Amino acid sequence: MGAHTATGDWEVDLRILNSAPGIPSNIAPDVARSHVIGPEAMREMWKRYEFIVNTSRDFMDLIDRDYIYQAVNDAFLSALNTTREETVGKSVADIWGEETFESATKPCLDQCFAGNIVHVEFSAKIRKRGPSYFIATYYPYYNADREITHAVVVTRDVTIRKQTTEWLRCIVEGTAKSTGTNFFRDLVYHVASATGVKVAFAAELLSENGLQARSLATWTNAGFSHGLTWNLDGTPCAKIEGGKTVFLEERLCEKFPNSAWLAKIGAESYLGIPFQDSSENVTGYIGIIDDKPLSGKNEVEQVLRIFAERAGAELERERMEKRLEHMAHHDSLTGLPNRFLFFDRLAQACAQGRRRKERFAVLFIDLDRFKEINDTLGHETGDLLLKEVAVRLLDCMREVDTVARIGGDEFTVILTNTQTLAGIKTTARKILATLTCPFVLSGKKMCIGSSIGISIYPTDSEIGDILLRCADAAMYEAKHTGKNTYRLWKHDD
């Protein structure tokens, strides 16, 4: 513990000292068998213990009955950001402040001087550090006459443990009731709030080779953002897809000079933790960026790892939910909206037509000669043909239109906001032409056609079901008049 300034005979109960955290009880068994020791043995004991005491994570000090520090170890000095010259010979109140001394330290010292071993947890403001938390144990220190002249105090700094616990509590409470997008928004917000960093984000890997990522949620001082997509190459996240934690302690902008975004926020440090699905595939990562070197890296990483597991599970659940929803509303063969989703879109089109007084058209398309090909060449070829038909139909439409497969070789279309009858007819002729072009499947050339029936909102009806039945009837009329043509319900061509 270094040189001390106390005078007179020092005696210490080594059984007490050896019971202090950080000091092995068997380090000086020959001395520990004595109940008390004299000044020379005491000085020798301090020399033997000096290395161990000064390398302890706990900080230790010797305080006399005037509440003056007589000796301190290196951990004490480091934790309080002070020097031995500034501490030894000074009062406890000088070091910890009058308020902490009167409310926490002095009562414990008085109990210790009365012969008690005292355990206490307290908080204090440390210069250059701010609020900190400690657990201290006070041991009586005896002289040769069995008088208590000093207190040996062993203190453990639990600030980081308290801080980590508070981070966990804050993030758990902030995300406990959230799912999906709200979970990721709550997660990054509470991670940033708890740790005090400038940026917190969660991202998912998009491509199979993991070279692209998309933001699930990002929080900065400017607020939330999401949906941004970027390439991982040339970013701090480049090694994430391999399942590696990435920690860059400082000079982040210097290491990635081509990143305008990092330069804009003045990024200095970065920590990224990958998360996985239940098959242990890396699916994304959670990360933080700050404009100063990251402090408490191990504790922050521990917290992020806990929530990375939750993030991986939540992303997997969300992806599965989207897949199930897609399966429920889309044709499994072509990927087009199925009958259920088509009627939902049709209802929306009717509501929008009434609100905006807009016209739209419903097309019912049936393939000519499909049954013959399906029966002759087999269902596998028939499925390939239906997929190609779906692709060609989509190529004929605008993004605002809907193309659906409602069964077999029957397709339906909603042409939204069609102002003129001529425009509807043009689209119908375009469909006829594209489906007439030969298909080449599995090295075989085949030709089909199509018959199209058309109904128009609100002329033919303002009810979706009736509009579809009108288009169906018009389609059968087109088939009966020679196929590979179109007919409008209640309209002349």
Residue 195, pLDDT score: 84
pTM of the model: 0.64
Decide which of 146 and 11 is more confident: 146
Check: CB of residue 396 under 8 Å from CB of residue 444: no
Residue 388, pLDDT score: 96
Cα-based distances in Å from 35 to 16, 32, 331: 10, 7, 87
Report pLDDT digits (tens) over 381-400. 999 999 999 999 999 999 99
Report pLDDT digits (tens) over 210-267. 578 899 999 998 888 888 888 888 788 877 666 888 898 888 888 888 888 888 888 8
Average pLDDT (113-130) is: 82
339-488: CATH topology? Alpha-Beta Plaits (3.30.70)
Domain 162-327 has CATH 3.40.1710.10: no
Report pLDDT digits (tens) over 68-119. 999 899 888 888 888 999 999 999 999 888 988 998 899 999 999 999 999 9
Residue 357, pLDDT score: 92
Long-range CB contact pairs, 100-104, < 8 A, 24+: 100/124, 100/125, 101/67
Q: Is the Cα dihedral 229, 231, 234, 237 positive or negative? A: positive
Question: What would be the CATH architecture of the domain defined by 14-157?
Answer: 2-Layer Sandwich (3.30)
Residue 5, pLDDT score: 38
Predicted confidence (pLDDT) at residue 427 exceeds the cutoff of 60: yes
Check if 14-157 and 162-327 are the same fold: yes
Predicted confidence (pLDDT) at residue 32 exceeds the cutoff of 60: no
Decide which of 17 and 166 is more confident: 166
Cβ-proximal residues to 234 (8 Å cutoff; 6+ apart), any chain: 256, 258, 259
Give me the chain's average pLDDT, please: 85
Predicted confidence (pLDDT) at residue 2 exceeds the cutoff of 60: no
Q: Where are the domains positioned within the chain?
A: 14-157, 162-327, 339-488
Report pLDDT digits (tens) over 34-75. 445 566 776 676 677 777 778 888 888 999 999 999 989 988
